[in-house]
Structure 1
Amino acid sequence: MMELDEIDRSLLRALAEDATQSAGALGRRLGLSQPATWRRIKRLQEVGIIAGRRLDLDKEKLGFGVTVFLGIKLATKGLVSLEAFERAVTAIPEVQTVEHVLGMYDYRLRVTARDIADFERVLRRRVMTLPGVGNVDANVLLSEERRPGPL
């Protein structure tokens, strides 16, 4: 694991706030030159600490007003069942995240839909027909108070 100094940690915090900042702007903020800042960013990318940059879209303004978390318990377990389920579920565009978890369920999915009727269509026609699906539990997101931030 790479050792991070305070400048690296400050750089990561600044990028987590706004990944669109230029190396020059970040350097001015951290007291570094633009080339020195760019070298640090490049190094953090090369070792995999910065795995990518994402665009944060407003789902509601794009017409997706419902988010549902699904707990999926597979009816059968085994390497073939897990791989078949994962391959099939990642092909559903409404499924935003797939998390293999330990506990009451085998998987936790974050599903985004236009409305409840659209979610019901996704659930009935796509999720419930996936290979190995047993029990499904749904929790509708009412509000999200804290957005993911820096570690």
Structure 2
Amino acid sequence: MNRLDEIDLELLRALSEDATQSARALGREFGLSQPATWRRIKRLQDQGVLVGRRLDLNKEKLGFGVTVFLGVKLATKGRVSLEDFERAVTAIPEVQRVEHVLGLYDYRLRVTARDIADFERVLRRRIMTLPGVGNVEANVMLSEERRPGPL
């Protein structure tokens, strides 16, 4: 992998703030031509440094007012149960993020629901019926002070 120079890092910072910016606009900002900017972006993609672009939706305006973090401890351990759980949990649309973690729980899930009653429905009918689920701990998000951004 080639080393990243200051312009590469600035491009990554700018794209992490607004991934819709054109190569032309970014080039103007950093004193590069549009083709030179595009080549840098393409190189960063080819190297695996820049992996896709993300669209952030306003969940509240779409009617999803509750976010809950779940700690899930599997009742049974083993490769088969992990794969079965992961396959099943990623099929639930309300589960926005699945993280396999080390610690008290085996997985950390980010679940988005319309309200608490909707979350309870998802928990009872979908998550608690997943293969291998043992203990579950829920933490309701009150506010989000910092959104994920550049490293």
Alpha-carbon separation, structure 2, partners of 1:49 and 1:58: 27
Q: Report whether the alignment pairs 1:116 with 2:116.
A: yes
Which letter maps to 2:150?
P
Calculate percent identity across the aligned residue pairs.
85
Task: Please name the residue that 1:147 is paired with.
Answer: 147
Unaligned runs of 5+ in 1: none
Alpha-carbon separation, structure 2, partners of 1:128 and 1:30: 51
Residue correspondences, number? 151
Task: Please name the residue that 1:38 is paired with.
Answer: 38
Q: Name which of structure 1's ranges 60-69 and 44-53 shifts more when overlaid on structure 2.
A: 44-53
Unaligned runs of 5+ in 2: none
Alpha-carbon separation, structure 1, partners of 2:149 and 2:49: 15
Q: How many angstroms does 1:29 deviate by?
A: 0.6
Secondary structure in 1 matching 2:71: strand
Alpha-carbon separation, structure 2, partners of 1:65 and 1:143: 11
Q: Report whether the alignment pairs 1:18 with 2:13.
A: no
Q: Name which of structure 1's ranges 83-92 and 2-11 shifts more when overlaid on structure 2.
A: 2-11
Q: CA RMSD in A?
A: 0.6
Which letter maps to 2:4?
L
Q: How many angstroms does 1:2 deviate by?
A: 3.3
Task: Please name the residue that 2:102 is paired with.
Answer: 102
Task: Please name the residue that 1:27 is paired with.
Answer: 27
Which digits, 9 at most, give the CA deviation of each residue in 1:37-89, with x for residues without a partner?
00000011111111100111000000000000000000010000100000000
Task: Please name the residue that 2:53 is paired with.
Answer: 53
Which letter maps to 1:68?
V
Alpha-carbon separation, structure 2, partners of 1:119 and 1:53: 29
TM-score by length of 1: 0.99
TM-score by length of 2: 0.99
Alpha-carbon separation, structure 1, partners of 2:56 and 2:89: 22
